[in-house]
Chain A
Amino acid sequence: MIELKNINKSFNGRHITQNVSCTFERGQTSLIIGESGSGKTVLLKCIVGLTEPDTGEVLFDGKDALKMNAKEKQNLRKEIGMLFQGGALFDSKTVEENITFPLAMFTEMSEKEQKERAQFCLSRVNLKDAGNLYPSELSGGMKKRVAIARAIAPNPKYLFCDEPNSGLDPKTSILIDKLIKEITDEFQMTTIVITHDMNSVMEIGEKVVFICNNQKWWEGTNKTILNTDNKELNDFIYVSKFLKELKDKNKS
């Protein structure tokens, strides 16, 4: 379980995140949605500790990550899997080496076991044959999928995904969403996913947090989100005329 308490973050006097408090349960996929530039990535980076919030607390199963010493922080991070918005694959390593890297670094697995694990993770993201390619030889969507495979390879306790399905076709996109939900259930992880894809929201949004005007504007589930009265959220969901008409039809 991850709890946020009054997270504030500003850059050069510009407030990006204001007073965000929130709880993310274990065994649940929680989604953070919001417009581009609304501060979703900044919030996620505050949670994982890549940027330090100006004020606030980030509790990982009750322990404040901001007050940890270097050793405790390092141990916590070994339990974190993260997918960066840009993938952040290691350019000088092949796809397979990218995935085996955290395993080689922190587990006692033999080289053969590492390779098997990498193959398994690659097959989960439909990339069985890409093991020997370098990141520069991959398409944008393939990079994303490799990055997901790398994030889940060490079976993390906490999984963070920054837009796992941007740049993917709808079919692969749903596949990735299902994969994230499946492993979250299976290994009882605490998973936070940033997205602006409404398909993902409907598919896996057991909890949805809407960020707007630098704040937590709305919180609910994929069941409650369609019938909300919140104006900003409705503007966010029902952007197209087609969807608006669909909603009005539903109401009447």
Chain B
Amino acid sequence: MFNRFFFHIGRYFSMLQRVLTVPGKWSVFKKELFHEIDSLGLTSLPIVAIISLFMGAVITIQAAFGFTSAWVPLYAVGYTTRDSVILEFSPTIISLILAGKVGSNIASEIGTMRITEQIDALEIMGVNSRSFLILPKIVACMFINPFLILISMFLGIAGGWLLGTFAGVVSTYQYVYGIQYQFNSFNITYALIKTVVFAFIIASVSAYHGYYTEGGALEVGRSSTKAVVYCSILILVFNFILTQLLLS
């Protein structure tokens, strides 16, 4: 059990060592990078948008029902929504969703390339296949995920306002006052730092599981499941560690 654990850790880091090299040809790297930004980032926008809108709404409504005591000012609803969305919901929950979508995508793509010998074909041409396949994905995720998360924050808070006022649990004036109340811009920095770390985990861990697939189509499926499971666990662990480091 421990043997397996250290085997994977060792192989993961030796993979990273080969991944993090200067690309052989910048023109080729740039082309791959833009392709990945499109296929890993932009296609995730719809699901991120829908989830953010509704989660923001639910947080607002729950907060409004929770704060029935006269001691709690009415603007607390907006304040609560803002902080939960920015601190936890957008960076962590959306990253978990992305681990499911992007992670399984990366693992199955690279896994399929492995079992159909496309990776061998790259190696035989003299291409550093780890760097060629994985580096653009890591860079693309670390670049595009912060934008996705910023959009998610905006939509989450907007969703709270839209559906909160629609449901009649909060007024526009109270909500807008609440989301401006004691705003600490470091929270956004904290959220983006988390996002970038999670993006690295999502891309590199799923690429690891895809790259070392052995067998056939069945194993590709398994690799992609494993990728999502390990990404999710690691995101939660690093969420804890980063929160300790950055907020305490």
Q: Interface residues, chain A, CB within 8 Å of chain B? A: 48, 50, 74-78, 80, 82, 84, 86, 88-91, 101-102, 104-106
Contacts and interface: CB of A to CB of B under 8 A. Distances in A.
Contacts of A78: 125-126
A90 B125 contact: no
B230 to A, nearest CB: 25
B124 A105 contact: no
Nearest to A51: B120
Given A104-B25, A104-B28, A74 B128 contact: yes
A74 B121 contact: no
A105 B118 contact: no
B229 to A, nearest CB: 26
A84 B121 CA distance: 8
B117 A74 contact: no
B128 A77 contact: no
Interface of B: 24-25, 27-28, 112-113, 116-118, 120-121, 123-128
Nearest to A79: B126
A82 B125 CA distance: 8
Given A77-B125, A77-B126, A91-B112, 16 more contacts: A48-B124, A74-B126, A74-B128, A78-B125, A78-B126, A82-B121, A84-B117, A84-B120, A86-B116, A88-B121, A90-B118, A91-B113, A91-B118, A101-B125, A104-B25, A106-B126
Given A86-B117, A90-B118, A50 B28 contact: no
A75 B128 CA distance: 11
A144 to B, nearest CB: 13
Question: 8 nearest interchain CB pairs?
Answer: A77-B126, A78-B126, A88-B117, A88-B121, A82-B124, A74-B126, A84-B117, A102-B125
A88 B126 contact: no
15 contacts: A50-B120, A77-B125, A82-B121, A84-B120, A88-B116, A88-B117, A91-B112, A91-B113, A91-B116, A101-B125, A104-B27, A104-B28, A105-B25, A105-B28, A105-B125
Specify which of B120, B124, B126, B127 lies most central, judged by the most chain A CB atoms within 10 Å of its CB. B124
B125 A50 contact: no
Contacts of B123: 50, 77
Interface of B: prevailing SS: helix
Contacts of B113: 90-91
Contacts of A101: 125
A106 B125 CA distance: 9
Nearest to B125: A102
A77 B118 contact: no
B224 to A, nearest CB: 16
Given A104-B25, A104-B28, A105-B24, A50 B116 contact: no
A209 B180 CA distance: 80
Nearest to A97: B31
Contacts of A104: 25, 27-28
Contacts of A86: 116-117
Contacts of A75: 126
A104 B29 CA distance: 11
A78 B122 CA distance: 10
Contacts of B124: 48, 50, 77, 80, 82
Nearest to B31: A104
Contacts of A80: 124-126
A105 B26 CA distance: 9
A82 B124 CA distance: 7
A175 B128 CA distance: 34
Nearest to B128: A74
Contacts of A77: 123-126
B137 to A, nearest CB: 13
A101 B121 CA distance: 11
Contacts of B24: 105-106
B29 to A, nearest CB: 10
Contacts of B27: 104
A50 B120 CA distance: 7
Contacts of B128: 74
A76 B117 CA distance: 19
A105 B132 CA distance: 10
B24 to A, nearest CB: 7
Contacts of A50: 120, 123-124
A111 B113 CA distance: 26
